Structure 1
Amino acid sequence: MSLRSPAYDQTNGASTLRPPRRAVFAFALGCLVFGYAFLQRVAPSVMTEELMRAFSVGGAALGSVSAFYFYAYAGMQLPVGLLIDRFGPRRMMAGAMATCMIGSVLFATSESLAIAAIGRALIGGAVAFGYVGTMTIAAHWFPAGRFSLLVGILQAVGMTGAISGQAPLRLVVDGTGWRDAMIMVGALAALLALAIFLVVRDRQDMRKTSGGMLSGMGRMLRRADSWGNAVCGLTLSAPMLAFAGLWAVPWLVQVHGYSKAEAGATTSIIFIGWGISAPVYGWLTDRIGRRKPLLYSGYAFAVMGLVGVVYIPELSPPAISFLLALIGIGGCSMVLNFTLARETNSPSDTGVALSFVNMCVVGAGAIFQPLIGYLLDLGWDGTEIEGVRIYSEAAYRIAFSAMIVGYAIGLAACFFAVRETHCRQLVEDR
């Protein structure tokens, strides 16, 4: 498995040695790649009007174009697990960031919806290497007892990228236009590609044959836990990826009268709540020795927050901010699904197990972004201002209810299909 060091046999979780300095740098760079992935993920949310105007489209079409990021990201997850385990993170992640630069420029210079979709797909497929690659580093270079905390740190850094993709990116868009802003974002990918190529090193003993990994995929897919964790992660992530990632800003502008910059800053509260709580979940779950109670509490917080913003009328700005924080705090409990996936699959199947859960997590964006856009178009009353469709509060309420249905499905999966591991590795290598 990727980056396995002889000093870090994680099968028994007994190692307490410090990880090599290069492993720390590799993990830090991986965190930056994941943060960059989130910046790209949410970028369309602060330029919805510009994109609708540039391509003369409505909500469903815009949601579909934005979702090409998620289609590619989710579709690449299982191949990513295989490729990183086979070839190592240095070449895979550096090459992916170079590809992301190309996709960003293509999206920024596109004159047609089809070319814009291809650009978003290249971006999504490229940044797909960041999360699983970084978690694989954490799983095989660091003591097993730190894995939940490291995943929490990784999520926290990802949220800084998401926050950067809200109000700060909106200021750049206001100053330069959306096309130049996206070219600047593409330049960041080039810098990350160079840094990864210069800093990260692969080990000869980390590489496996693709045949062994494919058999591991079969073992992983036969476990109900894998599917249960995937569904939980998908439903808990949907409001962050679809609501905050695309539709919260226009909702705040059109329904609550926020300016675009104010809406971007307010939407960032979801990412702040997510980022702050991610390391806390990682620390607390190891402290109490259980995983599922924190998942249940996460669903409780998330449901209260989403039901509040969707169904309570005439909310004040502080109330909206509080409820958005609850959505972020509750949704971030999905970090535990990655830990559970690791503990309910053998160590040699770690990469593909994490890839599968992450594929379904990001699949939330691919499913819910266009679904919400489609439901908004169904409820559209024909109001349009300067080529931009204006949706009513009732239309938003119906469209956002789809995420609440998702919560119910995920909670059932957590109850019936996810085992409590008591913070132990339940499946060992044979």
Structure 2
Amino acid sequence: MAVWGIGVAVYFVAITYRTSLGVAGLDAAERFHINASALSTFSLLQLLVYAGMQIPVGLLVDRLGPKRVLTLGVVLYTVGQFGFALSSSYGMALGSRALLGCGDAMTFISVLRLGSRWFPARRGPMIAQIAALVGMAGNLVSTLVLARFLHSFGWTPTFVSSAAGGIVVLIVLLLFLKDHPEGFAPPPPSAQHTGLGFVRRQIVESWREPGTRLGMWVHFTTQFPAMVFLLLWGLPFLVEAQGLSRGTAGELLTLVVLSNMAVGLIYGQVIARHHAARTPLALGTVLATALMWAIVLCWPGAHAPMGLLIVLCTVLGACGPASMIGFDFARPANPPERLGTASGIVNMGGFTASMTTLFAIGVLLDATGDNYRIAFASIFVVEALGVSQMLRLRRRAVRRERERLVASRVEAVHVPA
């Protein structure tokens, strides 16, 4: 448990760095003299690098193990955060966020692999939700601590001090983290498990599984509404479109995180006990999110009432836990030696959707003179695409999962004593 906790701590720091721009978006626009489209490019580039790294990272985790990949990730995201703190130009800041995104991309899949090696398979859904829950606590650091530091001490001291956290977790990681319990080392890779041919087979075989593809589309559809809100556009929406103070807007962002943590515990327990609840929970979360955004964006008058914004932020908190369901579809569909690659494919989904929506909102804000209602309507388009794919794949994935389960039971019966 303690060893796995070190990996989760690395992910916690990564989330803190990833979401730090969410409370500094307006400050970044002023510091670098940029418009909404340019501001969205920060998060867009970061997520582009993150999404693009998912399959390579999955392959690396399968090949090298979590410790080496996590070590490289910590080094990259710490250097990126230091660079962002010291950036005096837009170009330098962009490069720093790209480096940060590269390091961030190496954390969660590694943590999932650590969990699969240190805990029994039946606890997989709950372990994944707890990892995401602790990681989301890093968002609290951004909304509660970094926001206040930024207001009190300014840009460079705030981001430099936050970057020190990466150095701390790197030292602990190098000293204490182990890839697996004693006596449970995976077999060394054979000749056929190396080279470009093996890489190609890993990707193709993972993608062929309907559970992997369904998991990717679940992640795609559920994660991005909260990610876009927390990563960049939530604070500007609440301040500029809803007329709230920065303090009140920060409290609502904190509510999203707290709701995420509470719902994560509930979803993890439900899925661990009732596997059939995966699809209803995912689709229900998407429906609730779309409904709340429709009510807020269509509300007559300039501003939605505070009670409605509170409900919206509470519902957005369910998006992160719902996205973890995607991994619960991919996990039983793939053997352990392919789990990193399959997890990488799944993890691409939500970040691809977030990247698309971040860019669309920025472009639409510039094109419409900061009309947030039109800009945020892009959420519905992305959700509709994801839901259509979920409905197309769900029966095929469940049928294939049952076939694998039956085959494994038959194999267990015929194994000689």
TM (normalized to structure 2)? 0.89
Q: How many Å separate the matches in 1 of 2:403 and 2:151?
A: 50
Q: Choose the corresponding residue for 1:406, options 375, 379, 382.
A: 382
Residue 156 of structure 1 and its aligned partner are, at CA, apart by 0.8
Q: For 1:205, what is the secondary structure of its paired residue?
A: coil
8 Å CA contact retained: 2:353, 2:382: no
- Give structure 1 stretches of 5+ with no counterpart: 1-23, 381-390
The count of aligned residue pairs is 394
8 Å CA contact retained: 2:220, 2:351: yes
Structure 1 counterpart of 2:60: 83
Tell me the alpha carbon deviations over residues 361-412 of structure 1, each in whole angstroms, 9 at most, x when there is no partner: 22233222122111111111xxxxxxxxxx3xxx111111111221212211
Q: How many Å separate the matches in 1 of 2:101 and 2:3?
A: 21
- Give structure 2 stretches of 5+ with no counterpart: 412-417
Output the amino acid matched with 1:399.
A
Residue 421 of structure 1 and its aligned partner are, at CA, apart by 6.7
Q: For 1:129, what is the secondary structure of its paired residue?
A: coil
Residue 241 of structure 1 and its aligned partner are, at CA, apart by 1.5
Output the amino acid matched with 1:99.
L
Q: How many Å separate the matches in 1 of 2:157 and 2:260?
A: 29
Q: How many Å separate the matches in 1 of 2:365 and 2:324?
A: 30
Q: How many Å separate the matches in 1 of 2:187 and 2:258?
A: 35
Output the amino acid matched with 1:304.
L
Taking the TM superposition and a 5 Å limit, the aligned residue runs for 1:199-238 are 199-202=176-179, 205=186, 207-208=188-189, 209-211=193-195, 212-238=198-224
The CA RMSD over aligned residues, in Å, is 2.2
Farther off after superposition, 242-251 or 212-221? 212-221
Structure 2 counterpart of 1:10: none
Tell me the alpha carbon deviations over residues 325-356 of structure 1, each in whole angstroms, 9 at most, x when there is no partner: 11222553121111101112233211100111
Q: How many Å separate the matches in 2 of 1:106 and 1:119?
A: 5
8 Å CA contact retained: 1:46, 1:260: no
From the superposition, tell whether residues 347 and 205 of structure 1 become closer, same or farther in structure 2 (CA, over 3 Å). closer
Output the amino acid matched with 2:236.
P
Structure 2 counterpart of 1:250: 236
- Matching of residue 417 in structure 1 with residue 393 in structure 2: yes
Taking the TM superposition and a 5 Å limit, the aligned residue runs for 1:191-206 are 191-202=168-179, 205=186
Structure 2 counterpart of 1:310: 297
Output the amino acid matched with 1:311.
C
Q: For 2:318, what is the secondary structure of its paired residue?
A: helix
Q: How many Å separate the matches in 2 of 1:173 and 1:73?
A: 26
Residue 424 of structure 1 and its aligned partner are, at CA, apart by 6.3
8 Å CA contact retained: 1:106, 1:119: yes
Taking the TM superposition and a 5 Å limit, the aligned residue runs for 1:2-81 are 24-81=1-58
Q: How many Å separate the matches in 1 of 2:40 and 2:267?
A: 31
Structure 1 counterpart of 2:84: 107
Tell me the alpha carbon deviations over residues 210-243 of structure 1, each in whole angstroms, 9 at most, x when there is no partner: 4445422110122343233212212211111112
* Residue identity (%): 26
Structure 2 counterpart of 1:337: 326
- Matching of residue 277 in structure 1 with residue 266 in structure 2: no
Of Structure 1 and Structure 2, which has the larger fraction of its residues in helix? 2
Taking the TM superposition and a 5 Å limit, the aligned residue runs for 1:114-263 are 114-202=91-179, 205=186, 207-208=188-189, 209-211=193-195, 212-263=198-249
Structure 2 counterpart of 1:287: 273
Structure 1 counterpart of 2:366: 377
TM (normalized to structure 1)? 0.86
